Structure 1
Amino acid sequence: MKRVYLTGLFTVFSLVLLAQKPDLNNSNTPVPVDAPKERPVDGYFKKNNIEEAKATPFAYIREADVMYSKRVWREIDLREKMNATYASPKARLIDIIMEGIKSGEMTAYDAVSTKDDPNGDAFSTVLKPDQVMSKFADSVLIPDFNANGEQVGSHMAVGEFNPDSVVKFQIKEDWIFDKNRSVFEPRIVGIAPMVKIKAAGQDLGEQPAFWIYYPNARHLFATKGVVTRSNDATGLSYDDIFLKRLFSSYIVKESNPEDLRIKDYAQGIDKLYESERVKKEILDYEHDLWSY
């Protein structure tokens, strides 16, 4: 009986070993020239935790439970050291957004103001991928030639898009106090890459090129890992760093009856002071909710 037990245990142990995946660290089998072209693993373990990740659903909020809500618009400058992650050539934020739009996994909304959408950030008009590209690249004149090599005309085409030209993003978010959960938290509503606008030879400054509705984009952001200087195995996705607020930003607008931006009533360093005032006002509200 003991011999049968040991034999069965040895069989189970052997099957477990055979079922394990091959150890990539000790592989010494050369790849034949005529073998199927399969790329080897770039490293000693497969990095698929983030690729197979799913966005964690937000907690449901009832309107009746919202005691306080404040909408703010803030800008992220990728030239700041803390925001270098968002501009990394290995995992650039604008590249992820553009690839998502081209593949249909992400929807872009026009940022042009209309009668029903004065601010252009209400996600009212959907843009096609070619319309999105035209927001970044300047149009160029391309000559048309016939079979004999003679120029017969010309046409306008969208120039090449340079991802390094996008150095700022604008975020629209709501700060909400949910009395049901006793939680005061920010919820990102939309993200917009910024582009320089020129009209009639005048520089109108940087404006949102288009808007991405963040709740619908989380499924894609959750599968895109970020790159940092300190550790290659961060285990963080773009959805994680947005939720954890791992970025440096400054407020450019708060909801107000006149619908004014900070730069509409403050100039120079006063814009920074006003941005800090709005930030402190929001934090003070949370502080005053509790007594210590």
Structure 2
Amino acid sequence: MNKFLSFAALAAGLTLSVAASAQEQATTASSNGSYRPIPNSDIMFRKTIWRAIDLREKQNKPMFSEGREISRIILEAVKRGELQAYRNDSLTSTLSAKEVSGNMSYQEAAAGLSDEEKAAGFSEDTGDDWGAPKKGKTANAAPAAPPSYEYRPKDVYQMELKEDMIFDKKRSRMYHDIKALTLLVPSTLGANVSGIERPIGSFKYSDLVRVFRANPDKAIWFNPQNDAQHKNLADAFELWLFNSYIVKVSNPNDSRLDEVYGSQQQGILASQQAAADLIEYEYNLWSF
């Protein structure tokens, strides 16, 4: 009888331990954006990598097809309240739908006199053609703020993907464990007067998979060879059906490759070298 009670207590303890472990794993997955988390006990190697994705590239156009742009799918889901946005890819600070809209908006440049017109003696328009204010108005009245516009989904063609490259010693293979995806206002847009990429919002990959699966008619990776074989965007990421290049590898200073090597050109060369080094590392795991 005592042996039976001891066995029952042991079984109950193991059950609670497994449940606690599963709960801990689920909590970790929900907080870091991973869709298929790998237990820490199975990880032999891990390196965090940031990749840039230009949706204008030929290989990436299937996820940027007309009317079904991945940026459109994501931003419309945010506006509907189906998708939570975050301030950055650390996924700790949230953004409201209004803040996301503000991040992807720009103001039209205020019209004013050219340098030549000012040199000719013209003043800012204050009411009539000769610079004199209209009755009831003062010459120093503050000008109206220029209108604000949102960028079109086609304008948002730059993304950044954060992933962990993990070698799973239990399955003996390397995994791309995607954590987050960030939409960026490209630096090359004429309306982006700052001249630098500006983040619109970051999103958990696990949340994006849920949104893509829930909208199968819109969240499409367009197969240009066969209309009967379009894929869901979630499958496109799982199958790695896109092109990207490495812009940062985890390092003590949290620096991007172009910052580490001093220029954008050197950063591109370092990106190619980083990709080759990771392939070589995986290959060497099987060398004896």
Match of 1:109 in 2: 86
Cα drift, residue 157 of structure 1: 6.4
Q: Which residue of 1 aligns with 2:29?
A: none
Residue matched to 2:96: 128
Is the helix fraction higher in 1 or 2? 2
The residue identity in structure 2 corresponding to 1:220 is V
- SS of structure 1 residue aligned to 2:162: strand
Aligned pair partner of 2:160 in 154, 170, 178 = 170
Among 180, 188, 203, the residue aligned to 1:212 = 203
Distance 1:166 1:202, change over 3 A: closer
Q: Scaled by the length of structure 1, what TM-score is found?
A: 0.67
5+ residue gaps, structure 1:
1-56, 112-120, 142-149
SS at match of 1:203: coil
Structure 2 counterpart of 1:90: 67
Which among 275, 282, 287 is matched to residue 286 of structure 1? 282
Matched length: 218
Shift of 1:77: 0.8
Instruction: Give the alignment of 1:69-80 within 5 angstroms.
Output: 69-80=46-57
Change (3 A) 1:206 1:99: same
1:251 to 220, 243, 246: 246
Larger % of strand: which? 1
Q: Gapped runs of 5+ residues in structure 2? A: 1-33, 110-135, 138-142
AA aligned to 2:69 is: R
CA distance 1:78–1:58, shift in 2 (3 Å): closer
* Cα deviation code 1:119-173 (max 9, x no counterpart): xx211221111111111111469xxxxxxxx99x967864233112112110001
User: Larger RCO: Structure 1 or Structure 2 (Cα < 8 Å, ≥ 6 residues apart)?
Assistant: 2
Aligned to 1:180: 170
Alpha-carbon distance between aligned partners in 2 of 1:169 and 1:202, rounded to the nearest angstrom: 19
Residues 107-126 of structure 1: CA deviation (Å, up to 9, x unaligned): 10013xxxxxxxxx211221
Contact map agreement 2:103 2:199 (CA 8 A) in 1: no
| Aligned counterparts of 1:235 and 1:163: Cα–Cα separation in 2 | 21
For the residue of structure 2 that corresponds to 1:138, the secondary structure is strand
Q: Which structure 2 residues correspond to residues 1-292 of structure 1 after superposition, within 5 A?
A: 59-111=36-88, 121-139=89-107, 158-196=148-186, 203=194, 205-222=196-213, 223=216, 224-266=219-261, 267-291=263-287
Q: CA deviation at 1:261?
A: 0.5
CA-based RMSD: 2.9
